[in-house]
Chain A
Amino acid sequence: MNKKSYDERTTRQRAFWRANVALLVKLLLVWFLVSFGAGIVFAEPLNAYNFLGFPLGFWFAQQGSIYVFVILIFVYARKVSQLEDIYRQGSKRDTTDDGEPS
Chain B
Amino acid sequence: MSTAMLTYIFVGLTFSLYIGIAIWSRARTTSEFYVAGKHVHPVLNGMATAADWMSAASFISMAGIIAFMGYDGSVYLMGWTGGYVLLALLLAPYLRKFGQFTVPDFVGDRYYSRLARLVAVLCLLIVSFTYVAGQMRGVGIVFSRFLEVDIELGVFIGMAVVFFYAVLGGMKGITYTQVAQYCVLIFAYMVPAIFIGLLLTGNPIPQLGLGAPLLDDGGLTVLQKLDTILVDLGFGAYTDGSKSTIDVFAITAALMIGTAGLPHVIVRFFTVPNVADARRSAGYALVFIAILYTTAPAVAAFARLNFVDTVHQTSYAETPDWFRNWEDTGLIAWQDKNGDGVIQYGAGDAVVGGTPVYDGDARGTHGERLLHNAPTASANEVYVDRDIMVLANPEIAQLPGWVIALVAAGGLAAALSTAAGLLLVISTSISHDLMKKTLFGQLSEKQELLSARVAAAVAIVIAGFFGIYPPAFVAQVVAFAFGLAAASLFPVLFMGIFVRRMNREGAIAGMLAGMGFTWLYIAYFKFWEPAANIPANWWLGISPEGIGFIGMFVNFAAAFIVMRFTAPPPEEVCQLVDNIRTPS
Interface residues, chain A, CB within 8 Å of chain B? 10, 13, 16-17, 20-21, 24, 27-28, 31, 35-36, 39-41, 43, 47, 51-55, 58-59, 61-63, 65-67, 69-70, 72-74, 76-77, 80-81, 83-84, 87-89, 95, 97-100
Contacts and interface: CB of A to CB of B under 8 A. Distances in A.
A35 B248 CA distance: 11
Interface stretch (B21-29, B119-127, B147-155, B289-297): B289-297
Contacts of A52: 208, 211
Given A76-B88, A77-B283, A62 B297 contact: yes
Given A36-B252, A73-B88, A53 B286 contact: no
B286 A99 contact: no
B210 interface: yes
A98 B223 contact: no
A100 B274 CA distance: 12
Given A66-B293, A73-B84, A83-B583, 6 more contacts: A16-B581, A53-B212, A59-B211, A77-B280, A99-B275, A99-B579
Interface of B: 66, 71, 73-74, 77-78, 81-82, 84-85, 88-90, 93, 97-99, 207-208, 210-213, 221-223, 239-240, 245, 248-249, 252-253, 256, 273-276, 279-280, 282-283, 286-287, 290, 293-294, 297, 498, 578-584
Contacts of A40: 74, 78, 245, 248-249, 252
A70 B89 contact: no
Contacts of A47: 239-240
A41 B99 contact: no
Nearest to B81: A66
B276 A69 contact: no
Contacts of A76: 88-89, 279
Contacts of A28: 85, 89
Contact of B294 (A24, A63, A72, A74): A63
A77 B275 CA distance: 10
A24 to B, nearest CB: 6
Nearest to A24: B89
Nearest to B251: A40
14 contacts: A13-B578, A40-B252, A54-B210, A55-B223, A59-B211, A63-B207, A67-B294, A69-B84, A70-B283, A77-B88, A89-B583, A95-B582, A99-B99, A99-B580
Contacts of A59: 211
Contacts of A87: 583
A53 B239 contact: no
Contacts of A27: 85, 89
B323 to A, nearest CB: 28
A99 B93 CA distance: 11
B282 A95 contact: no
Given A17-B581, A81-B276, A84-B584, A73 B99 contact: no
B82 A35 contact: yes
Contacts of B584: 84, 95, 97, 99
Contact of A58 (B223, B249, B579): B223
B582 A16 contact: yes
Nearest to B212: A53
Nearest to A97: B274
A59 B301 CA distance: 13
Contacts of A58: 71, 74, 223, 239
Contact of A61 (B74, B212, B275, B578): B74
A10 B500 CA distance: 14
Contact of B74 (A20, A62, A84): A62
Nearest to A71: B283
A99 B578 CA distance: 11
A94 B354 CA distance: 64
A24 B90 contact: yes
Given A88-B583, A99-B97, A53 B90 contact: no
A83 B275 CA distance: 14
Contacts of A69: 81-82, 84-85, 286, 290
Contact of A67 (B93, B98, B290): B290
A1 to B, nearest CB: 13
Closest 10 CB pairs of A and B: A53-B211, A61-B74, A84-B583, A73-B283, A62-B297, A98-B99, A77-B279, A97-B274, A54-B211, A73-B88
A58 B208 CA distance: 13
Residue of A39, A41, A59 most packed against chain B (CB within 10 A): A39
Given A40-B249, A52-B211, A74 B77 contact: no
Contact of B223 (A24, A35, A53, A61): A53
Nearest to A63: B294
Given A59-B211, A76-B88, A39 B276 contact: no
Contacts of A84: 583-584
A48 to B, nearest CB: 12
A41 B282 CA distance: 27
Given A62-B77, A87-B583, A72 B280 contact: no
Nearest to A62: B297
